[in-house]
Amino acid sequence: MKILIADDNHTDRLILSKVLENLNHEVVQAKDGSEAIEQFKRHAPALVLLDVLMPSYDGYEVAEIIKTDSSRAWFPIIFLTSLTEASDLAKCISAGGDDFVSKPINKIIIKAKLDAFERIINLYDTVAEQRERIQFHHEHLVQEQEAAKRIFNNIAHRGCLASDNINYHLSPMSIFNGDLMLAAELPMGGMRLFLADFTGHGLPAAIGAIPASEIFYGMTTKGFAIPDMMTEMNKRLYNVLPRGIFCCVIVIDIDSIDESLTIWNAGAPDSFLVDQKSGEVTTIPSSHLPLGIQSPEKFKVTCQSFEFTKQHKIIAVTDGIIEAEDSTGNMFGEQKMVDCIQANVTSDDICGALLAEVNLFCGKTDQSDDLSLLEVGFPSVGSNDILQASKGEIIESGTSDSELSLKLRGKSLGNFDPIPLFMQTILSCNELTPHRARIFTVLSELYNNALDHGVLGLDSSMKNSNEGFTNYYTQRIQGLNDLDVGFVKVSVDHHPTASGGRLIFNIVDSGKGFDVQKILKEGIKDYSGRGLPLLLKLCDSVDYFDQGARVKAVYNWDHNDIPE
């Protein structure tokens, strides 16, 4: 160690230096107080031996001055004193000294004290070094989190969460609580909402958000149904997430044409379907294990469907709200949540009411950082912005002159959704991008009519009542499960024309057909009559053949006529 000896007595300094040098220490000497301060600044010794009585500044004063030098790491001061009065010795410590040794110097005692202090100095150095390292890592972590947050926000952007029909609460750092909330418009109108809660906190919880969002946006735009999207998401998360991390999700499709809601709750708290007119609150509990647990072979998605109109709202939450604690550790719980929803059934902002209630419950302990709340009403007309037409030169690209046909039989009808395949193929003709929503609507209406009413023989008038609505979807799922004969053949023919193109849809099914004229007369409301009025509005012609078992629809498009 480098040691400063301050003593006005030459012989004392001589002896002490010699003792210390014999112990392999480096010695700096000072013959009075002011020299001691000067030498201390110049040499930054690890330890200081101070005589009490010295000219200029005495030992006490020197101790006080050098101890206040904040630029220095901790160092011990040992007073050298021939004073024996208890009060004099106590003053050594109160002046900032750490110990004292009496004169004349005993080399054994000096050695013991130096050894002891060397250990303490090492300890302080270690602590300081570790603190520096911790601080470095902490700053690094904060920087990384900020960067990660920006990356996550780019990838897991919130989509159309800002729409008028949505109220939500989500902390800016929610991604590090493992919460993810996404919304996207469905190609055929309406919206898909997604609320996920990955187990754990921090980066491990956030990591799954990337594949989940990519799949969400990618597959939603291409028109994949919830079961297909969730199967894909589970497959990816199952492969990607470490053991012990999984993902509770609620995924909701609101079909604004059909005025229906399809929901799948896997491991999340109950969702609530609120009828603002009747005041009825329907609980939608989890019906599946969270994502990332089941192997793709065992994974199966069965959604629930409900009527959903302008008088309905759907509320989804993560467990943060249920587990919110007051100052004594009591949890907010499910009952309080249900009560609050019921008390605010007609409110425009049930989400806000819930949040206020939780904050009131928690008192000073604000836990809104951990809460994710989503409240969705019926999408207002026109909120479904159609993609901007690509500007520039008219180039006939991709599949502008093509025909694609596919025949699905038996079990494949229940297992495979051909719409995304057709959409992807049709839309590789870039000029059709602005027509995406219309084409999707036409194709899915035609296909679903063929499958539901043709092959499965379901009666669309069932959907006129609330109860029938649920029945309809139950029967549909049952029917698809039991299906082993029957077929639907879809073919799409795309021809270029002078100023655009013509899409000809031909759909044939194995069903027994129907009375076309009767349906056309009755089918006034959107949700019955097989959506025929809508099809007629979108297409240039819709014609039925073979008693309704074959339908041909023609959709003309024009470069100069971009749909709104």
Partner 1 sequence: MNNGLDHELLSELVEIMGEDMQLLINSYLDDTKEKLVTMNQLQVSAQQDDIYRLAHSLKGSSRNVGVVDFANYCEEIEKLAREGQLTELLFDLSKFDSLFEKASSQLSQLYL
For position 104 contacting partner 1 by CB under 8 A, the verdict is yes
Minimum gap (Å) between residue 76 Cβ and partner 1: 22
CA atoms within 13 A on the CB side of 337: 23
Residue 10 Cβ vs partner 1, minimum distance, rounded to whole Å: 5
Nearest in space to 292 (alpha carbons), one of 414, 209, 217: 209
CB nearer to partner 1: pick between 21 and 348: 21
Tell me how far, at minimum, the Cβ of 83 lies from partner 1, in Å.
8
**377 exposure class (CB count in 10 Å sphere: 0-12, 13-18, 19+):** buried
Identity of the residue, 102 or 163, whose beta carbon is nearer to partner 1 in the bound complex: 102
Shortest spacing between CB 64 and partner 1, in angstroms: 20
Which of 2, 18, 140, 521 is in the footprint of partner 1 by CB under 8 A?
A: 18
Window 114 to 133, contacts with partner 1 (CB under 8 A): none
Q: Helices (H), strands (E): how many in the chain?
A: 17, 20
Q: Is residue 35 close enough to count as binding partner 1 by CB under 8 A? A: no
What is residue 442's three-state secondary structure?
helix
Closest CB 13 distance from partner 1, rounded Å:
9
Provide the edge-to-edge strand list for the sheet that holds 47-51.
26-30, 2-6, 47-51, 77-81, 99-102
**CA 378 to CA 272: how far, in whole Å?**
15
The residue with tokens 């904060």 is 142
Strand partners, 192: 184, 253
466: its two tokens: 């609330």
Q: Which residues contact 454 (CB under 8 A, 6 or more apart)?
A: 488, 509, 510, 511, 513, 548, 549
- Residue 107 CB, nearest approach to partner 1 (Å): 6
Please state the separation of Cα 106 from the chain's center in Å: 69
Contact with partner 1 (CB under 8 A) among 10, 138, 140, 521: 10
Out of 67, 103, 149, 476, name the contact with partner 1 by CB under 8 A.
Answer: 103
Position among 65, 101, 105, 281 found at the interface with partner 1 (CB under 8 A): 105
Q: How many residues does the chain have?
A: 564
Query: Considering only residues 4, 6, 8, 503, which one is a binding residue for partner 1 as defined by CB under 8 A?
Result: 8
**Cα–Cα distance, 35 to 365 (Å, whole number):** 56
Choose the binding region for partner 1 from 15-23, 115-123, 415-423, 540-548 (rule: CB under 8 A). 15-23
- Under the binding rule (CB under 8 A), the answer on residue 430 touching partner 1 is no
Contact status: 481 vs partner 1 (CB under 8 A): no
Q: Choose, by CB under 8 A, the member of 5, 6, 12, 177 that binds partner 1.
A: 12
Our CB check for partner 1 shows the closer of 19 and 442 to be 19
Angle between helices 59-67 and 86-94 (to 10 degrees): 20
Least distance in Å: CB of 129 to partner 1? 35
Cβ proximity to partner 1, 9 vs 294, nearer residue: 9
- Show contacts with partner 1 in window 40-79 (CB under 8 A): 53
Contact flag: residue 22 with partner 1 (CB under 8 A): yes
Q: Report the residue number, 104 or 172, with the smaller CB distance to partner 1.
A: 104
Contacting residue, 43, 67, 107, 149, with partner 1 by CB under 8 A: 107
Distance CA 229, CA 134 (A): 43
Contacts of 119 (CB under 8 A, 6+ apart): none
Among 9, 29, 425, 510, binds partner 1 (CB under 8 A): 9
- Between CA 543 and CA 548 the distance in angstroms is 9
Residue type for 418, please? P
d(CA 331, CA 341): 17
Task: Quote the least distance from Cβ 41 to partner 1, whole Å.
Answer: 26
Cβ proximity to partner 1: between 78 and 317 the closer is 78
Beta bridge partners of 521: none
* Main-chain dihedrals φ then ψ at residue 410, nearest 5 degrees: 50, -130
Site string for partner 1, 81-100 (x = CB under 8 A): -x------------------
Q: Under the rule (CB under 8 A), what is the footprint of partner 1? A: 8-12, 14-15, 18-19, 22, 53, 82, 103-105, 107
